[in-house]
A and B are shown apart, each in its own frame.
Chain A
Amino acid sequence: MSKEDNKVKDASQMTWHQITTEKSDRRDAIKKLTAGLIAGVGLASTSCSVFSDDQEKEISQLTWDEFFKKNYKIMSDEERIQTVQRLEALYEKKTGNTINMSHQGPIEDVLFGYAFNISKCQGYMDCVNACIEENNQDRNSEMQYIRIHQIEKGHGFNFEKADDNYTNQVPAENHFYIGTQCFHCENPPCVNVCPTEATWKEKDGIVVVDYDWCIGCRYCLASCPYDGRRFNWSQPHVPEDEVNKNQHYLGNRMRKKGVMEKCTFCIQRSRNGNNPACVEACPTGARKFGNLLDPKSEIRWILENKKVFRLKEDLGTEPKFWYYMD
């Protein structure tokens, strides 16, 4: 080693020594304090439970894996199964309750469509309640996918004059009711604007969101001409006993703060042959759901035999949600 190198080393040791001696009291105190804290926390955690270390390790391992998963859209079937199992395990470890999360894909030869009879809707809002319960929507912010608009007759479909939070008895004299939610457009503007491809249209026509890829930019919220999307401004809260445990990755699994969500035609139900919760809850039969590719389905009969229309058809969004009247 050369003399110069030694000098440099000496100089660095000098400065280091100077610093430590100058502030020795405070540094020692902090060192002792942190060492004591670490020992204390360790002692407390081991004395409380023998398993807690393993449990915490597992949770942190699962959360770690969750951070580095792919977008659901490009996952292989195996990766999807792993992801769903990981989320089930995480839920069980955190709450002690088991959930059943599905990753079921679209059914062959199915394109979902929806029809809404504005002559039949009486504005009871039973559909809204069913939707909230089925889809684990945030109870604190009172999020709801469905809006039922009460409009006075004689003004057309004037949503400026509509009331979607009425307190009067229904059906009110000289009023009609029209429900809106996500229309699952065939040409969805929300999908085009998403910068992370966190939302897309599935083969069966359902527009879905991967809540773990959403960055919360709300471009989709701004681009939707139908007010179909909702944003979680706060951490969603559902009481544990009210959580719907029958879930789908792209559907009603628990969301987090800062992500978008919306109606998925109850993907966890519809892909199992069931009707969405709103259709099942409607006491007037104003809501119709079915496969557009089946010429014998009821929805096709409605499209071919009733006078149907869609909202803002001139935008070319091609919603798969038709309105009709008797």
Chain B
Amino acid sequence: MKNYFKIVSLLLIVMVLSCTNNKEKKYHGVIEKIKDLEKDSIEYTIKSTDFFDTEQFVLVETKETSFYITNRKAKIKKFKCSECHSKSISELKMTNLKGQKAHSDINLKHASLKELNCNSCHPTQNLDNLKSNLDAPVDFNQSYKVCAQCHSTQYKDWLGGAHGKRVKGWVNPRISHTCVDCHNPHNPKFEVRYPARFNSKYSEQRK
């Protein structure tokens, strides 16, 4: 009888020890794991500043978030606009330019012309800036503010990170594309085209 107790107690000890030897903590789901292991401030050894110099980018700061976006002015071929547009649009219209048309490549397809025209975003004077609905000047590097006036849900998603795209990498600090990097402001809809790949083996296998 004594031996029996000894064996049973030994077995129990072995069982308990083998149970506590679990290496990885068990969670009910990945969300529980995330909540348990999350860190408020993580210092990565790799930073996106390793790929880029943040001085080339523009800082976006709101109450909730702050991140960098691409520099729009650096991308416009002929900036400043005032280098050509020394006169205001109304003055230009007065002079006879004999059929010369600037910006003839721009075919405005953004809402209907009844709702939006050139003057909705570009002021008639001081063309080096954009303008808000209330005629306040908006810097070209902050063009997202002009878009956000109508597209408020997209703007909110973009600030959070659900809409839009990173320039490179997933590490901090965040460097994202601005609206006009992906959407042509004069024709914002994505094109209809053929897919980039067709798998000839799939079609063979499924005959």
A: residues with CB less than 8 A from B are 107, 109-111, 115, 117, 120, 122-126, 128-129, 141-142, 144, 148, 164-167, 169-171, 186, 270, 272-275, 279-280, 282-285, 288-299, 301-302, 305-306, 318, 320, 324, 326
Find the A residue at minimum CB distance from B177. Answer: A285
Cβ-defined contact, A141 with B201, below 8 A: yes
Cβ-defined contact, B203 with A298, below 8 A: no
Find the A residue at minimum CB distance from B39. Answer: A109
Bound Cα distance A141, B194 (Å): 22
Bound Cα distance A290, B38 (Å): 13
Cβ-defined contact, A273 with B42, below 8 A: no
B64 to chain A, nearest CB (A): 9
A235 to chain B, nearest CB (A): 16
Kindly state whether residue B197 has any CB partner on chain A within 8 Å. Answer: yes
Cβ-defined contact, A144 with B199, below 8 A: yes
Cβ-defined contact, A124 with B162, below 8 A: no
Kindly state whether residue B126 has any CB partner on chain A within 8 Å. Answer: no
Residues of A within 8 A of B44 (CB): 107, 273
- If over half of B's interface residues share one DSSP class (helix, strand or loop), that class is named, otherwise mixed; here it is loop
Cβ-defined contact, B30 with A305, below 8 A: no
Partner of B162, one of A148, A167, A302: A302
10 residue pairs from A and B, CB less than 8 Å apart: A115-B162, A142-B200, A167-B195, A186-B33, A279-B166, A288-B161, A290-B161, A292-B30, A297-B161, A306-B162
Cβ-defined contact, B30 with A280, below 8 A: no
B: residues with CB less than 8 A from A are 27, 29-30, 33-34, 37-40, 42, 44-48, 50-51, 65, 153-154, 157, 160-166, 168-172, 174, 177, 182, 190, 192-203, 206
Bound Cα distance A70, B142 (Å): 56
Cβ-defined contact, B42 with A294, below 8 A: yes
Residues of A within 8 A of B46 (CB): 107, 272-273
Cβ-defined contact, B162 with A111, below 8 A: no
Residues of B within 8 A of A115 (CB): 162
Bound Cα distance A318, B65 (Å): 29
Cβ-defined contact, A301 with B182, below 8 A: no
Cβ-defined contact, A167 with B198, below 8 A: yes
B160 to chain A, nearest CB (A): 4
Partner of A326, one of B51, B153, B199: B153
Partner of A288, one of B34, B38, B162: B162
Question: If the complex has contacts A165-B199, A297-B161, are A283 and B182 also in contact, measured as CB distance less than 8 A?
Answer: yes
Residues of A within 8 A of B34 (CB): 111, 292-293
Question: If the complex has contacts A164-B202, A318-B30, are A170 and B193 also in contact, measured as CB distance less than 8 A?
Answer: yes
Bound Cα distance A91, B136 (Å): 62
Find the A residue at minimum CB distance from B45. Answer: A107
Cβ-defined contact, B29 with A318, below 8 A: yes
Bound Cα distance A306, B27 (Å): 24
Cβ-defined contact, A165 with B182, below 8 A: no
Given contacts A292-B30, A326-B163, 16 further A-B contacts (CB under 8 A): A124-B195, A141-B201, A142-B201, A165-B202, A186-B27, A273-B48, A275-B168, A279-B166, A285-B163, A285-B165, A293-B39, A294-B38, A294-B39, A297-B161, A305-B160, A326-B154
